Amino acid sequence: MKKVEDYIRTIVDFPHEGIMFRDVTTLFADPRGFRIAIDQMLHPYAGMEIDKVVGLEARGFILGGAIAHQLSVGFVPIRKKGKLPGTTISQDYKLEYGEAIVEVHDDAIEAGEKILVVDDLLATGGTAEAGIRLIERLGGEIISTAFIIDLPELGGRKKLEAMGVEVHALCAFEGL
């Protein structure tokens, strides 16, 4: 039986020389692979109280929407600066290749709501940390984070765990 990592394509030297890009679009395109990933991402949260799923731009939207649907809860996108139409709060952060700003609507999460944060890949943890900071500023309680891929050498898991946040990943790849 195929595992989640068997559906993920590696593209060498993208977006820069020396990078092994882990491409989940091949996983998303395969109905069995996508189902396996969603089911495995949901598994740790069976029976837990979760009010909303937050997806980090952009592949986290695909995963988060599917997971929110399965949990019968709301979905909240955390987007790049300037993409949301309503009143937002923002958080800057560092990425592997520079800096960025993410935003969320200021009314997307109510104080005390239990939140699951979802994305495809955990690398340095910058995007996830920024998303968590936004959720906390709105009063949300982070129940856990869920990723398809962890890149342990880049330290994202350690960063999030040092913040007191639980991390689940379906698979890990060595290297950058």
| Residue 91, pLDDT score | 98
Task: With a cut of 90, say whether residue 163 has pLDDT above it.
Answer: yes
Question: Which residue carries 């944060």 as its tokens?
Answer: 117
Catalytic option among 5, 57, 96, 136:
96
Q: Encode pLDDT of 20-70 as tens digits.
A: 999 999 999 999 999 999 999 999 999 999 999 999 999 999 999 999 999
Spatial distance between the Cα atoms of 126 and 91, rounded to a whole number of angstroms: 11
**110 an active-site residue?**
no
**96 an active-site residue?**
yes
Exposed, middle or buried by CB within 10 Å (0-12, 13-18, 19+), for 119? buried
Q: Encode pLDDT of 57-94 as tens digits.
A: 999 999 999 999 999 999 999 999 999 999 999 999 98
For the chain, domain boundaries: 48-172
Catalytic option among 59, 79, 113, 129:
59
Task: With a cut of 70, say whether residue 115 has pLDDT above it.
Answer: yes
As a whole number of Å, the CA-based R_g of the chain is 15
Please give the class, per CATH, of domain 48-172. alpha beta
Task: With a cut of 90, say whether residue 96 has pLDDT above it.
Answer: no
Mean pLDDT of 158-162: 98
SS3 call for 76: strand
For 124, which DSSP code? S
Return the structure tokens found at 60: 């986290």
